[in-house]
Amino acid sequence: MTKDYYSVLRRATSALAPSTEEARQAVYDRARLAIMDADLPSEQTRSERAALEAAIERIEADADQAGRARLQQEAAARRPPVVAAAHDEHGPTMPALSRPVLVGAGAAAIALLIVGIAGAVYWGGRTDRPAPAPATKAPAVVADRATAGSNQELSYVFKRQLVYYRSIHPVGTIVIAKSQRFLYLVRPDVVAMRYTIGVGRECANAAGLLVISAKEGGLKEPRLAAASGAGADPAAPWLNLGDTGHRIFGTNPPLVSGGDGCFRLVNEDAIDLYDRVSVGTRVVIN
Amino acid sequence: MKHFVLAAAVAALVAAPASAQTLKTVKERGSLNCGVSQGLHGFSISDDRGTWSGFDVDFCRALAAAIFNDPGKVKFVPLSANERFSALTSGEIDVLSRNTTWTMAREVSDGLSFAGVTYYDGQGFLVPAALKVDSALELGGKSVCVQAGTTTELNLADFFSNNRMTYDKVVLPTAQEALQAYQTGRCSVLTSDISQLYAERLKLAKPGDHMILPDIISKEPLGPAVRQGDAQWFNIVKWTVFAMVNAEELGVSSATIDEALKSGKPDVKRLVGTEGDYGDQLGLSKDWAARVIRLVGNYDEVFERNVGTASQLGIPRGINNLWTNGGIQYAPPIR
């Protein structure tokens, strides 16, 4: 019942100019998010995700080969290194800013069609774009790929990070911005820790002020297992929100829908957040 | 395209031949005509001797300082809400500094241009401290007094429904009656624009027993406006406001202006006019901003003495803090 992700991804990545690792990863992330947002039964999500990851590995293997072939060609042509560098410098700047976004959106649209989801997914609001790849590094990146394997690294924007954040809410408050798909933990000095979240359909109408009513799954061993990235871990920590039945919880591998509940984090992020908050923490959903 | 722009510029000149001369007119007249409110505590109010003071008043004094090196060369024209726009478009006043909200209609149909936002106001909530709430999100189930037929009433309904809360609405015909109803306990919450809530709070028997919540549920950006068609004058008003905000950000105040004039920091030098000729290009002097800071003060000084915690109103900077302090006051750089 899984789809041919390989041809979808190949189409999307072959349109990238240049096809840097970073630009490709952005495409993959969008596809991963599309599956996550599809709100499929969890077994199906897992199988779709597995198929997607297999396709990503194939695409990356192709890219490795292409990269090696290109390096050989370049060596054969004995292009002066200066020219090569200049060429690479121009490559990523302009197209990297616009095209991967378009292509990423296109790939997303295709992925959506294939998975067979309508409407429920939030693409338009994601205006972030992959950071332009370090200009002169293209060959090195290709070489790195060999050791990187099928890493599931998220693009920078989706990673946990400190951001400039104005808020009227007291330090320590969690602010869940559903439409941005970010969760902020308010810190002093106009700063917040930002986490990327998945928002389940059952939380579309959640809003207002809640408090963390319980923390669970914070035991040492399951947390270690979760942090190792060794697959979905039912013991990954979660935070209950009032008596709503909604939770903030971790899933693994990154950003795959895991059962019910609405606010899904990567396991590592769930652990990080778990350690920073206590029962009674205010949670503002908007 | 060029022809179109040219044609538009010509049309503007033909349509408003006199209005493009505001600075010249003001200099020839020897004083600035400034439209203010008829009396709003902290913003513009005149004492027994007819001396005007307040937050809005100080922005006109700043303009006079920039133009004449004398903050006293201002004639204040008290205006009702209905008169304020025609006073500006007719040329009776040179600038309107009267707690006026910047909206689209006022620019596209009333012929005004807002030069900036000196005060970000918005609707908020006044509650007894004894209610023990820190956020408007904790007001579920409470009774709220509100003036009838206002956008305030609509914003209130939206806020509660958006946050999945219920409330009892107590609607009163006037602001005064709303305050009275709050005072007599008919409701436990009063809602209005926050600057107004601070003024109302002063009228209560024990102001200290009441607090204004930090939440802002609507946008009311207030700032000075000029009539359209005089780009030079628009720039003067706009950059005077920006200079005051930049001065705060750079730590230049009326107390430190002499040191600032000796500063070697490039951004301070551009602000106070020891580098560059930005003031000349505005049609003023090189030290136009230094005059404003020396004679009136930077944004922080004007805020604190008129409406801030150093004043009777005691409004915290909140959203009006600089962007570097968690607020949204932000001025483009002078360079």
Q: What is the CATH number of the domain that holds A210?
A: 2.40.440.10
Kindly report the nearest CA distance between residue B160 and chain A, in angstroms. Answer: 9
Does one domain contain both B194 and B262?
no
Does one domain contain both A93 and A172?
no
**Residue B113 is part of which domain span?**
2-120+221-322
Residue A54: the pLDDT is 77
A170 inside 8 A of chain B by CB: yes
Residue A3: the pLDDT is 65
Percent of chain A with pLDDT over 90: 19
Residues of chain A positioned with their CB less than 8 A from the CB of B214: 168
Residues of chain A positioned with their CB less than 8 A from the CB of B325: 190
**Chain-chain contact of A190 with B328 (C-beta, under 8 angstroms):** no
- pLDDT bucket at A154, cuts 50 / 70 / 90: low
Which of A54-58, A154-158, A205-209, B276-280 shows the highest mean pLDDT?
B276-280
The answer on pLDDT for A215 being more than 80 is yes
Does one domain contain both A273 and A180?
yes
- pLDDT bucket at A71, cuts 50 / 70 / 90: low
A243 inside 8 A of chain B by CB: no
In a domain, B334, yes or no: no
In a domain, B329, yes or no: no
- Residue that terminates a domain, selected from A92, A126, A157: A157
Residues of chain B positioned with their CB less than 8 A from the CB of A283: none
Residue A258: the pLDDT is 40
**Chain-chain contact of B164 with A284 (C-beta, under 8 angstroms):** no
Residue B274: the pLDDT is 97
Residue B132: the pLDDT is 94
Q: In whole angstroms, give the CA distance from residue A183 to residue A163.
A: 11
- Residue that terminates a domain, selected from A123, A140, A157: A157
Does one domain contain both A111 and A173?
no
Does one domain contain both A174 and A136?
no
**Residue A111: helix, strand or coil by DSSP?**
helix
For chain B, how big is the Rg over CA atoms in Å? 21
- Residue that terminates a domain, selected from B218, B237, B254: B218
Task: Report pTM.
Answer: 0.68
Does one domain contain both B95 and B9?
yes
- pLDDT bucket at B210, cuts 50 / 70 / 90: very high
- pLDDT bucket at A110, cuts 50 / 70 / 90: very low
What residue in B sits closest to A209 (Cα-Cα)?
B137
Residues of chain B positioned with their CB less than 8 A from the CB of A190: 324-326
**Chain-chain contact of A190 with B134 (C-beta, under 8 angstroms):** no
- Residue that terminates a domain, selected from B175, B191, B218: B218
**Chain-chain contact of A166 with B327 (C-beta, under 8 angstroms):** yes
Residue A66: the pLDDT is 66
Does one domain contain both B7 and B26?
yes
Does one domain contain both B312 and B198?
no
Choose among B134, B163, B323: nearest Cβ to A207. B163
Does one domain contain both A192 and A215?
yes
Does one domain contain both A126 and A212?
no
B47 Cβ contact list (under 8 Å, min separation 6): B53
In a domain, B335, yes or no: no
Residue B11: the pLDDT is 40
Does one domain contain both B132 and B256?
no
**Chain-chain contact of A208 with B134 (C-beta, under 8 angstroms):** no
Does one domain contain both A124 and A227?
no
Residue A60: the pLDDT is 74
A169 inside 8 A of chain B by CB: yes
Kindly report the nearest CA distance between residue A168 and chain B, in angstroms. Answer: 6
The answer on pLDDT for A256 being more than 80 is no
- Residue that terminates a domain, selected from A132, A157, A182: A157
Kindly report the nearest CA distance between residue A165 and chain B, in angstroms. Answer: 8
> Lowest-confidence range among A150-159, B105-114, B244-253?
A150-159
Domain count, chain B: 2
Domain count, chain A: 2
CB A60 within 8 A of CB A66: no
**Residue A110 is part of which domain span?**
5-157
Does one domain contain both A173 and A138?
no
Does one domain contain both A62 and A167?
no
**Residue A188: helix, strand or coil by DSSP?**
coil
CATH at residue B32: 3.40.190.10
Does one domain contain both B141 and B236?
no
Residue A260: the pLDDT is 54
The answer on pLDDT for A229 being more than 50 is no
The answer on pLDDT for A82 being more than 80 is no
Give pLDDT tens digits for B93-132.
Answer: 999 999 899 999 999 999 999 999 999 999 999 999 999 9
A125 inside 8 A of chain B by CB: no
Does one domain contain both A134 and A167?
no
The answer on pLDDT for B33 being more than 50 is yes
Does one domain contain both A169 and A150?
no
Does one domain contain both B81 and B7?
yes
- Residue that terminates a domain, selected from B158, B193, B218: B218
Kindly report the nearest CA distance between residue B180 and chain A, in angstroms. Answer: 29
Choose among A168, A190, A207: nearest Cβ to B164. A207
Mean per-residue pLDDT, B238-249: 98
Residue B16: the pLDDT is 44
> Lowest-confidence range among A126-135, B6-15, B195-204?
A126-135
- pLDDT bucket at A112, cuts 50 / 70 / 90: very low
- pLDDT bucket at A157, cuts 50 / 70 / 90: confident
| Bigger pLDDT: A219 vs B327 | B327
> ∠ at Cα A199 (A197, A205), nearest 5°?
135
> Lowest-confidence range among A30-39, A51-60, B6-15, B56-65?
B6-15
Pick the residue of A190, A209, A243, A285 with the most B CBs within 10 A to test the interface with B by mutation: A209
In a domain, B263, yes or no: yes
Give pLDDT tens digits for A167-214.
Answer: 989 999 999 998 888 999 999 989 999 999 988 888 888 899 999 999
**Chain-chain contact of B162 with A168 (C-beta, under 8 angstroms):** no
| Bigger pLDDT: B297 vs A275 | B297
Q: Tokens representing A103?
A: 């292509």
A188 inside 8 A of chain B by CB: no
Percent of chain A with pLDDT over 70: 51
**Chain-chain contact of A284 with B137 (C-beta, under 8 angstroms):** yes
Residues of chain A positioned with their CB less than 8 A from the CB of B163: 207-209, 286
Percent of chain B with pLDDT over 70: 94
Does one domain contain both B21 and B108?
yes
Does one domain contain both B9 and B96?
yes
Give the count of Cβ contacts less than 8 A between chain A and B.
35
Count the Cβ atoms, other than its own, within 10 Å of residue B299: 27
Does one domain contain both B310 and B249?
yes
Does one domain contain both A103 and A149?
yes
What is the overall mean pLDDT for chain B? 92
